[in-house]
Chains A and B, each alone.
Chain A
């Protein structure tokens, strides 16, 4: 079920609900997924993404209601789009779209990708999740598990072998 899947949870451990993506990665690792828990998206993730059939970017999303979960497909940014121009590509952090573009350009890999946003309630200094974020975390984990179950055998093109 989890073969070929990569979960990338990202956020700050010091800013309350911003860490919810990191917690999701930790919980999904226990369920057999290959996971990465990182402070932010950086270009070095491209190699790992290129080896996956399906990648899920899990992050807190302040635009969502606390506890709400939104999971949607994400595509590589068009090379010369306004979004790609604005993307902070390869400086300190990247976006899922710009990372997928980099994966396509450098490794000619096109894994299926999802973004799982989790609504938080408290992004202030602190190491604990709010009750709403915990609810969202459970929902997001269940959502990923459900999609992985639906997609068994693994979805997405076979991963490429890097040089």
Chain B
């Protein structure tokens, strides 16, 4: 058997490789998406005070530290058995909206737009944001401005753009001032204009991607996302809902019951765990999380502009949208939603209340916290001793939930595009682009030197190098 190795997969957060095994006829037989980095956070936090966990686990990621902090403080608050002040909840959700905007903007404008607007087959030296800036400068400027806005929301409300210090167990570190709120409020219309403009542009190019839509993980799976009691989309808090492939609600439960519904399998060639829906077993319990899954799972977004976009999305592709290519579309709709929610939150009078933190010591020995990270459901589960020292931790990250689906999507795209008898970079870029559609976060904080070379080798059954393509 021959195999092709894509190592590393580029324009994703973290390190991964793809192995494509070929038959003697050069056709794809099977594929494997490997996550090649190990982090060890669950182990080395043992012994640390639980109240340090938000700051420690935020360092898992430089893109979505806010999500880790939110899941972590909620787990900590379950241990403290406190209810946080209403203003703190408003501020946290507003911070989270900022994070959704900046992270989704990074994914769309910086990581995937080069594929989408310059072409999957465009020359590698130009298939980046510099190339985008050359050909679509307005879009590139929009991407920078939108991401900067999201980061400014985080900085203004939580202290710093990356690894913000002000999200703490019991609430937030300090109240919001009217002047800071008004400054953010003033820039919201421009951010919304960019989001709407980009979504409009994206909808005009979709017809050019019929093949990718059909072959980028277009398959029936379950979906999972947080919803409120009315079934509306929730990003900061909510119950976990599993939707069946046909659109039926398969389960809905509180985060602390996750272990009853979600199992975690280990795969031999990857450090990333493979969660599955327990009642269906492994691997039949495959499900997806993240923007596409959230829009499938929720009945509605709950904000006017996002709901109008969601209605158009469903009119075009159905009530349950199966293709993972549409993560891009869903991501753009969620940016609109996050901006609308942010506006509503900033306009809530209680957001300026000065009581923003509850204090307590250890009142329970176990706690679970959940939030919708930009890439999907994030669960933190802690056990502590009577002094509050961490005894055990389990983290289920968004990309982990998607691991089985990413693997299956890679296989589908490889079977469609890869001809092992004649390698072309564009076809392998499509295999990488499938992974990018999920915007996997394989923990960007472990990037070594930032030099992301793409190297693809075709190796014979005897180990002979038959063909090779390298980016530089």
Given A91-B110, A92-B447, residue A43 in contact with residue B129 (CB < 8 A)? yes
Contact of B472 among A82, A88, A163 (CB under 8 A): A82
**Would B472 and A44 count as touching, CB distance under 8 A?**
no
Contact of B130 among A79, A92, A107 (CB under 8 A): A79
**Would A92 and B444 count as touching, CB distance under 8 A?**
yes
**Would B144 and A80 count as touching, CB distance under 8 A?**
no
**Would B133 and A105 count as touching, CB distance under 8 A?**
yes
Q: How close is A143's CB to chain B, nearest CB, in angstroms?
A: 27
Interface size on B, residues (CB 8 A): 37
Classify chain A's interface size.
20 to 34
A85 within 8 A of B: yes
Q: Which of A70-94 contact B (CB under 8 A)?
A: 79-80, 82, 84-86, 88-93
> CA separation between A80 and B148, bound complex, in Å?
27
Q: How close is A48's CB to chain B, nearest CB, in angstroms?
A: 9
Q: How close is A10's CB to chain B, nearest CB, in angstroms?
A: 11
Contact of B140 among A86, A88, A106 (CB under 8 A): A106
Best-buried of B129, B161, B447, B453 by chain A (most CB within 10 Å): B129
**Would A90 and B129 count as touching, CB distance under 8 A?**
yes
Is chain B's interface secondary structure helix, strand, loop, or mixed overall?
helix
Q: How close is B239's CB to chain A, nearest CB, in angstroms?
A: 33
**Would B148 and A98 count as touching, CB distance under 8 A?**
no
A134 within 8 A of B: no
**Would B450 and A88 count as touching, CB distance under 8 A?**
yes
A39 within 8 A of B: yes
**Would B137 and A92 count as touching, CB distance under 8 A?**
no
Q: How close is B147's CB to chain A, nearest CB, in angstroms?
A: 6
A102 within 8 A of B: yes
**Would B452 and A102 count as touching, CB distance under 8 A?**
no
Best-buried of B62, B128, B451, B472 by chain A (most CB within 10 Å): B128
User: Across the interface, which residues of A come within 8 angstroms of B10, CB to CB?
Assistant: 91
Q: How close is B104's CB to chain A, nearest CB, in angstroms?
A: 14
**Would B134 and A79 count as touching, CB distance under 8 A?**
yes
User: Across the interface, which residues of B come within 8 angstroms of A14, CB to CB?
Assistant: 59
> CA separation between A91 and B444, bound complex, in Å?
10
B451-468 interface code vs A (CB 8 A; 1 in, 0 out): 111000000000000000
B268 within 8 A of A: no
Q: How close is B209's CB to chain A, nearest CB, in angstroms?
A: 22
**Would A90 and B130 count as touching, CB distance under 8 A?**
yes
> CA separation between A101 and B131, bound complex, in Å?
11
Contact of B11 among A85, A91, A101 (CB under 8 A): A91
User: Across the interface, which residues of A come within 8 angstroms of B151, CB to CB?
Assistant: 44
B13 within 8 A of A: yes
Contact of A102 among B129, B444, B451, B471 (CB under 8 A): B129
Q: How close is B64's CB to chain A, nearest CB, in angstroms?
A: 12
**Would A39 and B450 count as touching, CB distance under 8 A?**
no
Given A47-B144, A47-B145, residue A89 in contact with residue B128 (CB < 8 A)? yes
- Nearest CB in chain B to that of A105: its residue: B133
**Would A85 and B148 count as touching, CB distance under 8 A?**
no
> CA separation between A107 and B137, bound complex, in Å?
9
- Nearest CB in chain B to that of A83: its residue: B472
- Nearest CB in chain A to that of B12: its residue: A91
Given A91-B111, A91-B452, A92-B444, residue A106 in contact with residue B133 (CB < 8 A)? yes
User: Across the interface, which residues of A come within 8 angstroms of B289, CB to CB?
Assistant: none
User: Across the interface, which residues of A come within 8 angstroms of B11, CB to CB?
Assistant: 91
A60 within 8 A of B: no
**Would B450 and A92 count as touching, CB distance under 8 A?**
yes
**Would A106 and B137 count as touching, CB distance under 8 A?**
yes
**Would B130 and A102 count as touching, CB distance under 8 A?**
yes
User: Across the interface, which residues of B come within 8 angstroms of A92, CB to CB?
Assistant: 13, 62-63, 444, 447, 450
> CA separation between A59 and B201, bound complex, in Å?
39
**Would B125 and A85 count as touching, CB distance under 8 A?**
yes
- Nearest CB in chain B to that of A80: its residue: B125
A38-80 interface code vs B (CB 8 A; 1 in, 0 out): 1110011011000000000000000000000000000000011
B124-152 interface code vs A (CB 8 A; 1 in, 0 out): 11101110111001001101110110010
User: Across the interface, which residues of B come within 8 angstroms of A107, CB to CB?
Assistant: 141
User: Across the interface, which residues of B come within 8 angstroms of A47, CB to CB?
Assistant: 144-145, 148
A95-109 interface code vs B (CB 8 A; 1 in, 0 out): 000100110011100
B173 within 8 A of A: no
> CA separation between A105 and B62, bound complex, in Å?
27
Given A92-B62, A92-B63, A92-B447, residue A84 in contact with residue B145 (CB < 8 A)? no
User: Across the interface, which residues of A come within 8 angstroms of B144, CB to CB?
Assistant: 43-44, 46-47, 106
User: Across the interface, which residues of A come within 8 angstroms of B13, CB to CB?
Assistant: 92
- Nearest CB in chain B to that of A162: its residue: B141
Interface residues of A (CB under 8 A from B): 14, 38-40, 43-44, 46-47, 79-80, 82, 84-86, 88-93, 98, 101-102, 105-107, 163
Show 12 residue pairs from A and B whose CB-CB distance is below 8 angstroms, ordered by the A residue. A43-B110, A43-B129, A80-B125, A84-B130, A86-B472, A89-B130, A92-B62, A92-B450, A98-B130, A102-B140, A105-B130, A106-B140
Contacts A101-B130, A105-B140, A106-B133 supplied; 17 other A-B pairs, CB < 8 Å:
A44-B148, A47-B145, A80-B126, A84-B125, A85-B472, A89-B130, A90-B110, A90-B128, A90-B129, A90-B132, A91-B450, A92-B450, A93-B447, A102-B140, A105-B133, A106-B137, A107-B141
